[in-house]
Amino acid sequence: MILYRPVSTKELELIKKSNYRSFPPRLPEQPIFYPVLNEQYATEIASGWNVKYNDDHKGYVTKFEVDDSYCGQFEVHQVGGAHHKELWVPAEKLKEFNEHIVGEIQIISEFSE
């Protein structure tokens, strides 16, 4: 399954430290890791929310692949329009989720003010 994740500069630095192989653990107040199912939605978040609310006013879109059979255990949630779909991964499963990433996490877009 091809997934996308809008990230901040801080999160991107942690991804780089993993050699583009994993996403960092969630913070205690973040019980869900939610990659999105399409580039359009990820771009909306990175170019709007991340640019507006992050300290450095930058946002990035990452693209990555996860084993299809593994992803089947997680619920897809539509949280707005037809293209606003997210895969909801409980934070405690993120380490296992990272182990099912195929290849590297790619940076496909960058946005700034």
> How many CB atoms lie under 10 A from the CB of residue 74?
20
Q: Is residue 88 within 8 Å of residue 31, measured between CB atoms? A: no
Measure the CA–CA gap between 7 and 45, rounded to whole angstroms. 9
The structural domains of the chain, with segments of one domain joined by +, span 2-112
Measure the CA–CA gap between 8 and 24, rounded to whole angstroms. 12
Q: CATH code for 2-112?
A: 3.20.170
Q: Per-residue pLDDT tens for 40-80? A: 999 999 999 999 998 999 999 999 999 999 999 999 999 99
Measure the CA–CA gap between 5 and 66, rounded to whole angstroms. 12
Confidence of residue 90 (pLDDT cuts 50, 70, 90): very high
Instruction: Say which amino acid occupies 103.
Output: G
What pTM, to 2 d.p., does this model score?
0.95
